[in-house]
Structure 1
Amino acid sequence: MIRLAPELGGRRESGRIRRLRQMLRDLGKRVPVSQRFRDGLEHAAMSTAAALAAYLPTQALGLREGFWAAITAISVVQSEFGATRTTARDQFVGAAIGGVIGVAVVLVTGQTLLSYALSAGLSVLCAWLFNVASAARLAGITATIILLVPHPGTSAQHMMLSRVTEVSWGVTVAIAIVWLVARLDRRTRP
């Protein structure tokens, strides 16, 4: 039996692939608690280090809402460097698309509920059109931040630049932390 699989972007998935995916899930459940604890502890340490390293210098960098850098760093950190790079790309591209579209819509139509709906929808659509569907939800989230988060005394353009800068900083820190851990891990393992 063949069905459409959302994980494969709508491409057909064979029964064999489905069974292999289920076997991987089952294997993951059989990992001993001690190994899950070690893996979880390592991931928690990386996430915490990345969040702190992303947040602490934000005031000195002129970023008023450094928590966005910390949130981004936590969401980008993955157990493997390749997965971290992919997530980082999605975060940056999604923020850029959502930010640019959010500002453009505000400049053309003003800041209304209809403008929000338009910018969120266009952001998701553009991510798909640029062939980065994995960044679509992040584009919509950034458009939401631009249009729905109050920012008195700050223009939408300034808010967009701030968000993209904060996301970029969080992405950079997360990549650096995971890269460093991967390098150290290779040196300490036989």
Structure 2
Amino acid sequence: MTHNERTRSPRRSAAAYRMLRLDRAEQALDYLFRSMPIGHRVLKGLLMGIQAVLASLTAYGIGLLLHTHQAFWAAITAIAVTQLNYTDTRTSSRDQCIGAALGAVAGLLGLYLDVGQIYSYVAAVFLVIVVCWMLNAGASARLGAITATIILLVPSTGPAWQLAFVRVGEVALGTACALTVSWLTARVQARFIDQQTREEDA
């Protein structure tokens, strides 16, 4: 075994151990959420539903005003990235935007490969997933693959670059609406908690 192989081995072991710990932490968090009392789960569901509806309706309405032909993608994106708290929504929005941008590039490259639709599709999806993981953006890989799929497989009357540009714009619109609603919700929650604390102290 060479010196390089010996130094790589502990690094791989440490990375595998971190992945195992992360997996266990996710399972523990999932168990905690599932073991919450029904009242808490209902409240969180109501809050999540309100945020998702407000964000998606706002995104869809703005999309219609901007005359995008498929404004429903903005609404779908808003629902997809909406989380219970602002920090998680921001992280999800970032992943969505990165995935959409890389997926659009991969989709356009696939179109210009000119090796047949299926081969171009396979190459584009494979490429965007690998690139996302190389850039340490694994959470964006699925979203990038979905965007590439839309560009390559969904019938379109306009030029390919226009479809890619509009798709990224719709994702940006959806994430912006979700972030705005989530931020406002967080401010309202913080003010409500602060008011309750003052009443208890008084």
TM-score range, shorter chain: 0.7 to 0.9
Supply the distance in 1 between the matched residues of 2:34 and 2:150 (Cα, whole angstroms): 37
Which residue of structure 2 aligns with residue 150 of structure 1?
Answer: 155
Report the equivalent of 2:74.
69
User: Normalising by structure 2, what TM-score?
Assistant: 0.82
Q: Distance in 2 between matches of 1:62 and 1:15?
A: 47
SS in 2 for 1:26: helix
Q: Determine which of 130, 145, 156 is the counterpart of 1:140.
A: 145
> Is the contact made by 2:59 and 2:174 (CA closer than 8 Å) also made in structure 1?
yes
Q: Is the 2:110–2:152 contact (alpha carbons within 8 Å) kept by the matching residues of 1?
A: no
Displacement of 1:13 after TM fit?
4.4
Show CA shifts across 1:15-43 (max 9, x none).
87776655444332321111111110010
* Structure 1 CA distance for aligned equivalents of residues 19 and 115 of structure 2: 48
For residues 27-75 of structure 1, give each alpha carbon's deviation from its aligned partner in whole angstroms, at most 9, with x where no partner exists: 3232111111111001000001101000012122131101100000001
Residues 119 and 184 of structure 1: CA distance in aligned 2, closer, same or farther (over 3 Å): same
Partner of 1:168 in structure 2?
172
Partner of residue 177 from structure 1, selected from 167, 175, 181: 181
2:53 alignment partner, one of 48, 51, 55: 48
Q: Which sections of structure 2, spanning at least 5 residues, go unmatched?
A: 1-14, 198-202
Structure 1 residues not aligned, in runs of 5+: 1-9
1:37 matched residue in structure 2? 42
Q: How does 1:109-120 map to 2 (within 5 A)?
A: 109=114, 112-120=117-125
For 1:144 and 1:34, how far apart are their aligned partners in 2?
Answer: 40
Name whichever structure is richer in helix by fraction: 2
Deviations 1:66-94 (A, max 9, x none): 11000000011101111111100010000
Runs of 4+ in 1 over 6 A off after TM superposition: 14-19
Distance, in Å, in 1 between the alignment partners of 2:161 and 2:134 is 23
Secondary structure at the counterpart of residue 121 of structure 2: helix
The counterpart of 1:98, out of the listed 103, 117, 128, is: 103
1:123 aligned onto 2:128 = yes
What is the root-mean-square deviation in Å for CA atoms of aligned residues?
2.0
1:58 is paired with a residue of what secondary structure?
Answer: helix
Residues 1:87 and 2:89 are matched in the alignment: no
Larger Rg: 2
Distance 1:172 1:115, change over 3 A: same
Number of residue pairs the alignment of both structures matches = 180
Maintained 8 Å contact 1:111/1:147: no
